[in-house]
Structure formats: C-alpha cells, structure tokens
Amino acid sequence: ATPTAIMVATGVGASHGVLVKGGDALERAESVDYVIFDKTGTLTQGKAVVTVAKIFSGMDLGDFLTIVASAEASSEHPLAKAIMEYAFHYHFNGKLESTAQKKEEIMAGWLLEATDFSAVPGKGVQCAINGKIVLVGNRSLLSENGIRIPQEAEVFLVNLEESAKTGILVAYDGAFVGLLGITDPLKREAAVVVEGLKKMGVKPVMLTGDNWRTARAVAKEVGVEDVRAEVMPAGKADVIRSLQKGGSKVAMVGDGINDSPALAAADVGMAIGAGTDIAVEAADYVLVRNNLEDVITAIDLSRKTFNRIR
C-alpha cells in the first residue's frame, strides 16, 4: 500500500471512530488468526446487576447487604458497584424522594467502617468489619481462607452459573453466610460480530477471570467455542503469548486496567470504548464507539488497504 492509501484508510477509520496508531498497526490487523475478547465490559455491557441475594445462615438480609456493601465500598471493580447499588435500593428504595439528602450522604451515614481492606485481584475483596474478617468474592477466595461452602449453597451457585450469572460468595467471621447472583448482559451486537469473524476466517476466543461454568454459559450464548476462564489478571498476556508461539497472529480486544498487558502483548491490541487511559495507551487501535462491529471494520479496512482480501 502507498503512503497515500494508508493515510486515506486512517482517515476512513477515524470517521467511524476507529483510531489506529500508525501504518504498521494498520497492516498487522490484516493477518490476524485469532481475535481474543475479554468477557466483562467487552463482550458484555459491563453493567452488572445483582438479580438475587440469598442467605444460608441465620443472618438478617438487611445486615448481610450492609456488610457486603461496606466491604465493597473501597473496591473499583464493576461487580462492587452492582452490589452497592443493590444494597442501597434494598435499604432506601421509596424513601429517597421524601428526603432531600444526596445518595452519597445517605450511603456515608449507613455503611459500616471497614478496616484492613485489600482487593485480591481476580478473586474479590477482604476487610474487617466489627472486628470480624469479611470475605466477598469467588470460590477460590473462600477456599484459600479455609471457608467451606455448604452443599445447599453450592447447588444454588451452580444453578446461577449455568444460567450465565456470576455468583459472589460472602463469609463473615470464618463462616459462609450467603451469596449474590450477578448478571451482565451481552452487548446487542456481540453474537453477530462473533459470527462475522468466523465467516472472515478469524477464530474468536473469550478470555475471562470469571469461573468456568459462567464463562461457558456466556460463550455459548454469544457463539464462541474457544473459552479461557479463571485466568488471573497477570495470566491474560500469557494466553496470548502461547497462541503466538504456535505461529498465530493474535488480536486482543479489551477495556480494563487488567487487560493492558494483554493488549500490549497482542500483535494487534484494540481498546474498546472510553476504556481506561492505561488500556488506551497499551493498544494499537482505539474503538471509541464501544461497538464490537468496529473490530470487523478495523480488520476489513486493513485487508482492503493492503489488498489481500481472502
């Protein structure tokens, strides 16, 4: 392709919100064998919603939600925001109009003090409330702290996961108390884009830190056969490198802080949406419209510019 052709393609991309950082990046998109999608916030809307909270102990539901929200208050994770919202509505729905108070003020007066907070990447959060240790997260967070999940809760959890929901488990003072089910709907264009890539001869892959059962259920809905689940944030780039070792060219599409090393390791990194600054920095492409169709637009544009339409 001539420098002019590359300039024109870059301009065409930009007019669609597909920003490419230079001619090399534009050329590399032409030959990708795999497109790896992060699940949360990339294939899904990233707008998690709690659909159920269930207690498996004597604890009162209101107390349970207060404790969980207090533990999540310091977390930046999208799941934390969903949990806070749910707890807030449980306590204050209907009472908000009658008070002139702002949501933040109400929250501040209602949450319990959490000390020794730590985020455990890919697993959840840990803190102390009322002098008791509180754990909120996945199976592996609880099991590595020696918390046993009762059989009845395990059955409930498996059911949630098989219907594509993420189960968040809660332990208080060394014992399991209950769980929350969270759903994060697919983006409306996700399945069409996955199908489109297959038709172009590109293999779609889904990559996530979420558990295998939820991941498989989401992958099935969206039409992806190749799933890599329970991948810790640090392991995402390794998944890409292992595909590259086999001689494949790999594109990675992601949105979060966790995805930056993977975006950088990929032959073509695509940051979707406003994303985080750090993800945008690590990427070759920025897809500003937050629409997965632009992954296809980017590959198409590259193929047309370099005249190697397959």
Which spans of this chain sit near ligand ADP (rule: CB under 6 A)?
39-40, 72, 75, 77, 79-80, 122-125, 136-138, 166, 168, 208-210, 233, 258
Supply the minimum distance, in Å, between the C-beta of residue 31 and ligand ADP.
Answer: 27
Cβ-based nearer residue to Mg ion, 55 or 264: 264
Q: Which does 208 bind (CB under 5 to 8 A by kind): Mg ion, ligand ADP, none?
A: ligand ADP
34 vs 175, 248, 256, CA distance in Å?
A: 43, 7, 20
Q: Are 41 and 292 in contact (CB under 8 A)?
A: no
Stretch that binds Mg ion, among 150-158, 195-203, 250-258, 266-274 (CB under 5 A): 250-258
Does 256 engage in binding with Mg ion (CB under 5 A)? yes
296 vs 155, 301, 303, CA distance in Å?
A: 40, 8, 10
Q: Taking Cα atoms as reference points, which of 4, 3, 9, 7 lies closest to residue 305?
A: 9
Cβ-based nearer residue to Mg ion, 147 or 180: 180
Q: Which does 136 bind (CB under 5 to 8 A by kind): Mg ion, ligand ADP, none?
A: ligand ADP
Q: Which does 170 bind (CB under 5 to 8 A by kind): ligand ADP, Mg ion, none?
A: none
Q: Are 268 and 25 in contact (CB under 8 A)?
A: yes
Residue nearest to ligand ADP (CB): 209
Supply the minimum distance, in Å, between the C-beta of residue 11 and ligand ADP.
Answer: 34
Residue 240 neighbours by CB under 8 Å, 6+ apart: 36, 250, 252, 262, 265, 266
Supply the minimum distance, in Å, between the C-beta of residue 301 and ligand ADP.
Answer: 28
Which residues inside 34-73 make contact with Mg ion, applying CB under 5 A? Answer: 40
Q: Which does 181 bind (CB under 5 to 8 A by kind): Mg ion, ligand ADP, none?
A: none
Catalytic residue among 24, 33, 38, 277: 38
Helix (H, G, I), strand (E, B) or coil at 231: coil
Q: Taking Cα atoms as reference points, which of 10, 27, 28 lies closest to residue 19?
A: 10
Annotated catalytic residue 38: yes
Position among 10, 44, 258, 260 found at the interface with Mg ion (CB under 5 A): 258
Supply the minimum distance, in Å, between the C-beta of residue 168 and ligand ADP.
Answer: 5
Q: Are 151 and 135 in contact (CB under 8 A)?
A: no
Q: Which does 235 bind (CB under 5 to 8 A by kind): Mg ion, ligand ADP, none?
A: none
Q: What gap in Å lies between CA 100 and CA 19, rounded to an integer?
A: 44
Supply the minimum distance, in Å, between the C-beta of residue 46 and ligand ADP.
Answer: 9
Q: What is the 3-state secondary structure (H, E, C) of 244-295?
A: HHCCCCEEEEECCHHHHHHHHHCCEEEEECCCCHHHHHHCCEEECCCCCHHH
Q: What gap in Å lies between CA 40 and CA 137, rounded to an integer?
A: 16
- Please give the residue ranges that form the binding site for Mg ion (CB under 5 A): 40, 256, 258
Residues involved in catalysis: 38
